[in-house]
Structure formats: C-alpha cells, structure tokens
Structure 1
Amino acid sequence: MRVYPGCYYYIVPSVWSLTLDTPQILYHWETADLTVANRKDQAPSTDRASSLFFLVQDNSSRVKNDTEILLDGPYGCNKHPEKFETVVLVAQGRGIAGVLPVALSIALIGRHDRITRRIDLQWKLDLNDQEEWAEERLQGLINLDPHRSMNRIRRNIVAKSRYAGHMIVLAAEPQGLRIDILDKREAFEEVEGVFKFTKTVIIFKSGEEIYHAAVPSSEPVSSELSETQLINKLLVPTAAYKPPFSCTFTRAPDPLPTDTYIKTPSLLSYDQIHNGPQPNQIADDVLNEVRICELLRESPHPNLAKYIGCQVSDGNISGICFVRYGKTLMEAVNPRGLMKRKFSTTHRDLGDFGRGLQGIQAGIAHLHSLGIVHNDINPSNIMIDGDDWVIIDFGSCRKLEESLVGVGRTYEWYDEAIQHSCPENDLNALLEIHTWLRGAPADAFQFTE
C-alpha cells in the first residue's frame, strides 16, 4: 500500500469495536528493501510499504501476538511539508507518532531539493516514561542533523496530564514570500532562430540564505514573489562565493570610510558552474583579485584604483573595498550604453581627453611592469575622478601568459581570438577607446560586435 507522512488508519481487530476505536497515525513503515528498512535513522519513503508501525496503548487483553486485524486506510493527504521554509511540529503524548515521520522525511531530502530550512519540534509528554517511545526515532533525527543547523527539538514533561494523544501540526501556507533581490538580469534565448526574452535571472536573500533562481518572462519581478513564480531555485552555499580570509591580507577598517566602494561578487552565473568541475570558481576569482590588490597596495599608482582592504564576515571575505570615484567613462560619454558603432554618431563631446588617456596608459604600463595584464580595459572600467582617469576592476587580471579561458571580459572590447594574458590585450583595448572617443566611423574599430 502507498503511504506518506501524516497518514492514518483505523485498526479493526476482532476484539475491538470499530465504533469505539479512534484513528491511528502511522508512526513508521518499512519498504521491501531491507537495506533501507534496517537503517534506524531512515525516514519513511513514499513507496509501497511492507511493514507498518503504530503506537497503541499497551493492553494485553486487546493486543496479542499473531492477532489478525483489519486496516482501513490510509486517510489524510500528503501536504508536502518540504515545500515550506519553516515547519513547526507540536505533539502531546502519543501524538509524537504523527509528527516524527514528517520531520524525518524532510531531513532526508537533499538540501537543494527542499525549501525547508527550519524544523521546530515540540513534544509535551504526559508521563515521564513516554520519552522512551520515540527515543530511537528522535536520535535518528539528531544523527541526520548533528550540529542542529535545521532541527530544534524540545521535550516538556508534564506528569499526570489528562490530555493524552493530542497532536497539532502547524505550517503557514506560502502565499507570499518576501525576498530581498540583490541582483537580476534578463536572459534571452534563441527560439526558432530569433533571440527572445525568456526569463529574468535573480539573486535573492531569504532569511540568512542566498539563492539563485529565475522568474519566467510572463511574471513580474518584485520583492513579493510566491514560490510558484520561481523556477530553478538554487541555494548558493557560502563557500561558493566567500573565500576564507587570510591573515596575510589587509582587513578593511570598521567602520569603513564614507567614500568607500565595496565590490561584491556577481552570482548570476552560479547556475552554470555549480555542477561543474569548479563549483567554487566565484570564490576563487575573489581570492585572485584580492591577491592582485595586495600587490598593488605594496606598489600603488595614481591611475589605479586605491585598495582599502577586505570586508570580513565570519572569517570569510564578503567584499573588496576601494576608494569611491565619481563616474565611469561610459556614464560620462555614453549614458545610454549604446553599442560602440551606434555611439559614434551620438556621443557626447568630452573635450580634450588626451590627458585622461595618458593617465590610463601610465596605469597600464605600471601593471605590466609588475607582470600583470588587466585584460578588461573598457569604458566601464575607467573612472573619471576630477581631472584624473583611474582604472578599476581587477577581477580579470592575470599574470603574463596565463590562460583566459573562463575569465570574464567585456563584449566588443577584446579580441576573442586571444585566449591568453598578454600586454597587447590592454594596449589594443586602449587604442579602441581612443577610436571610440573621437567618434570614428564604424569600419575604424578593431573588435567586432
């Protein structure tokens, strides 16, 4: 027979009266697979069961070995508690039989396959010896969550209570899930030869957890989303984007100066890497950038962004701190973010930009003298700070001749045929910016769209 957490039966032995009996919650069951059935911490599956277990009153006149009984059931419905973020289970006395299968079934579901992040189990005992009834199953639940990161179990003993066997299961329906959207991006896919907007990729925070998910193009994106609107929801573990802080790195002051910019990693690509060979690639990239910044801290240059240090949370790097500058070259010259060939007919006059480009060239030369190539010189990575231009964003920096496979670079501003770090990457990009600033015709550019 098919079973599930929370279902109940009427037990009808020949010596019991059907009219006087009460329904019995299914406490545990075993499948025909003995390798599963013999595990004490194994939660009941939703497969067909070969053995059913109930907690019934110990009455030798009514319960005997080899007694034939009739089972009427199962009744009830599977509420799928794993779809609720917080599950509260409250039982009194024998009612523990109904809530433990629910807790165990949730705990055994993979973290990425359930929404539940907290189970609160409260059991009020009517008699002291009742604790023995469920000790084995409670211990199984504790073994599944040894650090108590998800399960919270409370036992309250009230002797000689008159209200034995009552059980209440509480869980709020997820009508609206208030989330804090941290980042988002529209995604386009080729459909029948045409690129169409198909979904919005979002990074959001719910409680203390960070998630990657998508919202179909037909749904609006707001801070109040129901679970049914989200697709491909992924928990982003801390290790995937927050590398451990090393004592050899510089810790940013606390509190931070008012003119501080905190760079945090983008998690929008997490769905593409989490099942790959380098699921922590984002954290590795953060470490690489911090190492570059530490080198520049020892050898600074006025045309390179000033590094303040690492923002640290629970021993991990949560952000890289820099001095905040005015606006990017892209914002100053091309606020609409047009493609560079389209921009050549609509750009704003920046006057004499020669001095600014000379500063950028000096900053590039300083990087190269340290054996580093920026690899992503473009108008969005150049800040205008008064009369000075400053290079920012060292996430794509690599040592000479290092591979650039998987390294983020900006479309339109690099030679896609070059897949290694070399000085020409920066120098050619600088020449492209010069061509762009003077409003050259479309055929004057090096890099294709």
Structure 2
Amino acid sequence: MARCRRDTPGMTSEKAKYSPCFLRVHRIRDKLFPPPLPWKKTSPSSSSSSSSSLVTLFLKRHCSHGSHTNGAKQTKMESEWEFYSMKERWGEIGGVRLFLYTHVMYWHKNEFWDARVAGRYASRADLPPVEACVLQQIEKTDLWPPLEPGLRVCPEPTDNKPGGGLFVKRVRLAEYDGSPTLGQYVLHEARIGQRLRASPHPNLARFHGCAVGARGEVTGLCFDRYLETLGERMRRGAPVDAERSIEQVRAAVHHLHSLQLVHNDVTVDNVMFVNHGPALVLVDFDSCAARGGGLPKKRGPVPDGAVASEFENDYVGLQLVYAVLLRYQDATKAQR
C-alpha cells in the first residue's frame, strides 16, 4: 500500500526560506552527496562549514515548507496529533560526521505518522507546529511484521507484568527511521531465538516465542525474565566475581560459534544475571548473524576494518568485558 501523505502549501513570504522544513527522501546520503563530488578530510572548522553549505543546498532542493495558521487553528490541530518521540539522525560521509535531520513521530487516529524536520531541537516544545509538517503515515508492517510460518507463538505472554516469569521484548518505536528495518530486526531475532531454542545453552537467554497481535503481527519477543545486567550490578556497587563471570560469557559465545553464529554485540549491558546469585546469560540477539554474513548496522565493538560477521568480533567484545570486570574487581577491593 502506498504511503499516505499530508501536504501543506508553502509560505510565500521571504521568511519561507528560513522556516523549518521536512525531508521526505529516505536515501539522503545519495541525494545529498551525488557522485562524483570529491570529498577530502578537512579540519573540524572547514568540515563544519562545508557540511553546512551542502545541507543548505539539499534543503533548498528537497524540502517542503509548511504554512503557519492562526493560533486557534494551530491549537486545534496539535490537539488532534499526539507527539510520540523525536530523535536526531546523523550520517558519515568521507569521515565527516554530518547531522541529517530530526525524526519526529506522532500518533493520530490510531496510526503512527512521521516527519523529517530540518534543524536540531533541544526539546519537544521547540519543534515547529504540526501543521508545518509534511507527514507520512507509517506502514504497520514496518513496526510490527506479520508472523512468519514456522515461528513459535508464545502461549502466555505476560506483557512485562511485575513478578512475571517472562519478559516481552517490545519494538522500540522511537528507533524507527522511516524504513522497514525495525520490523526486519524483530523477525531476525525471532529466527535466531528459535534456532537457539532448538540448541539451548544455560548461559544463553531462553526464547519462548513471539507475542502476536489480533491481526497476526509480531508485537514482541518472549524470553525468560532476568534480574539485571552486568553493567547495572556493577553500577550499584554489588560484588562480582570477574573470573566466574567471564567464563560464563565465554561459554555462551563458544556455543554460538559452534552453531556458526556470531553475536556481534558482546557488552556488559547484554550480559544479565539470572537472579541475585552469580549465574549469567548472554542476551539480545538482534545483531546476531551467521558467520561470514554481513556486519549488522546495530552492533557492538568489532575489530578495526571488520566488514563481516566473524568470530573475532565476539573476541573483541569478550576482551572488553573482561577488562571492565577486572577494573571493577580491583576498584571494589581497594575500597575495602
């Protein structure tokens, strides 16, 4: 189904050139930097100036300007559009980190809508009025993909109720970037979880299946509920056995590698304690990929120059986790 769009006429005054405008092109980099534009690494000041001028040129060519209406109409319209989230989007071209736009999401008549807003904003209150937006309706399948044949359905998802035995990992709607990537990550992690369910390991999070909505869409992924991450336990100053902890993480990684899988995101925040004891599990499989496959955009630390999912990616993560554990253990001993 084609995306719905709500356009507003542009302003005719001289101020129109400087009003907020909204990007509607998904392949921003390709249009913003068409070949054969030569890029060279420059100093921060010159890079900023060059990037700014290129962004200005792009905005003039591709952005639509919205019209401003009287206060009463603006208040009424904004009351019909419920703000949901805002997030800055950045890109990197030729080694230069470049701000692209602010992505804003709204809720309206049981549908999510999004807009790409030119400019950076400190808070929601600083955003331009809704009627100035070029809004696009978000396809539901971009957020909640249809259940694939063969994927397990969780019989009793607890919806994260306190004290429940299951944790339902919901889609992070604020991470939506205007592409179907979010829904694809959900299905990908469900496939990995199902594969691990067939080959379980005590140090890997246990997958129970998909939470499914009324229309057969995947609304979440169900796992065993765990107490806290390794990072959280260290931040609250609780004792942690470095050697015992890293051995469990290594065992989890080794099991993944035996299945020719690479986790790609081994960090202290993706390792969780089962309870108040020392037992650990490795969680979060949306970056997990078959060995030799592409390197996912969402990932943890990997070797310099890495372009594929290889075991070495997880070895780097293990080394960093172990280094953090040793520093923490030394620090807690010094405080005694």
Q: TM-score range by the shorter chain?
A: 0.5 to 0.7
SS of corresponding position for 1:320: strand
- Tell me the distance in 2 between the aligned counterparts of 1:324 and 1:280: 28
- Tell me the distance in 2 between the aligned counterparts of 1:370 and 1:198: 39
Match of 2:270 among 381, 386, 403: 381
Q: What TM-score comes out, normalization by structure 2 length?
A: 0.63
- Structure 2 equivalent of residue 409 of structure 1: 299
- Structure 1 equivalent of residue 38 of structure 2: none
**1:19-62 deviation line (CA, Å, top 9, x unaligned):** xxxxxxxxxxxxxxxxxxxxxxxxxxxxxxxxxxxxxxxxxxxx
- Structure 2 equivalent of residue 10 of structure 1: none
- Tell me the distance in 1 between the aligned counterparts of 2:151 and 2:91: 41
Preserved contact between residue 367 and residue 373 of structure 1 (Cα < 8 Å)? yes
Give the counterpart letter for 2:145 in structure 1. Answer: P
SS of corresponding position for 1:419: coil
- Structure 2 equivalent of residue 48 of structure 1: none
Match of 1:179 among 82, 90, 93: 82
- Structure 2 equivalent of residue 282 of structure 1: 182
- Structure 1 equivalent of residue 154 of structure 2: 252
Deviation at 1:209, TM superposition (A): 1.0
Alignment of 1:237 onto 2:142: no
Unpaired segments of 5 or more residues in structure 2?
9-74, 329-336
Cα-Cα RMSD:
3.6
Preserved contact between residue 327 and residue 384 of structure 1 (Cα < 8 Å)? yes
**1:124-168 deviation line (CA, Å, top 9, x unaligned):** xxxxxxxxxxxxxxxxxxxxxxxxxxxxxxxxxxxxxxxxxxxxx
Deviation at 1:217, TM superposition (A): 4.4
Q: What TM-score comes out, normalization by structure 1 length?
A: 0.48
SS of corresponding position for 2:209: strand
Query: How many pairs align?
Result: 251
- Tell me the distance in 2 between the aligned counterparts of 1:256 and 1:225: 39
Deviation at 1:435, TM superposition (A): 1.2
Match of 1:423 among 300, 311, 334: 311
Match of 1:318 among 212, 219, 222: 219
Give the counterpart letter for 1:434 in structure 2. Answer: Y
SS of corresponding position for 2:124: coil
Give the counterpart letter for 2:299 in structure 1. Answer: R
Give the counterpart letter for 1:415 in structure 2. Answer: P
Q: 1:332 to 1:349 in 2, by over 3 A?
A: closer
- Tell me the distance in 1 between the aligned counterparts of 2:185 and 2:109: 26
- Structure 2 equivalent of residue 370 of structure 1: 259
- Tell me the distance in 2 between the aligned counterparts of 1:401 and 1:290: 20
Q: 1:266 to 1:110 in 2, by over 3 A?
A: closer
Q: Which has the higher helix share?
A: 2
SS of corresponding position for 1:439: helix
- Tell me the distance in 2 between the aligned counterparts of 1:350 and 1:199: 43
- Structure 2 equivalent of residue 221 of structure 1: 124
Rg comparison, structure with higher value: 1
Preserved contact between residue 229 and residue 273 of structure 2 (Cα < 8 Å)? yes
Structure of greater relative contact order (alpha carbons < 8 Å, 6+ residues apart): 2
SS of corresponding position for 2:168: strand
Unpaired segments of 5 or more residues in structure 1?
1-108, 116-171, 336-347, 441-449
Alignment of 1:301 onto 2:201: yes
Q: Which has the higher strand share?
A: 1
Give the counterpart letter for 2:191 in structure 1. Answer: R
- Tell me the distance in 1 between the aligned counterparts of 2:200 and 2:260: 14
Q: 1:333 to 1:110 in 2, by over 3 A?
A: closer
SS of corresponding position for 1:174: helix
Deviation at 1:208, TM superposition (A): 1.7
- Tell me the distance in 1 between the aligned counterparts of 2:91 and 2:98: 6
Runs (4+) of structure 1 exceeding 6 A deviation are 194-199
- Structure 2 equivalent of residue 208 of structure 1: 110
- Tell me the distance in 1 between the aligned counterparts of 2:239 and 2:98: 36
- Tell me the distance in 1 between the aligned counterparts of 2:109 and 2:239: 46
- Structure 1 equivalent of residue 291 of structure 2: 400
- Tell me the distance in 1 between the aligned counterparts of 2:133 and 2:122: 11
- Tell me the distance in 2 between the aligned counterparts of 1:383 and 1:195: 33
Preserved contact between residue 306 and residue 322 of structure 1 (Cα < 8 Å)? yes
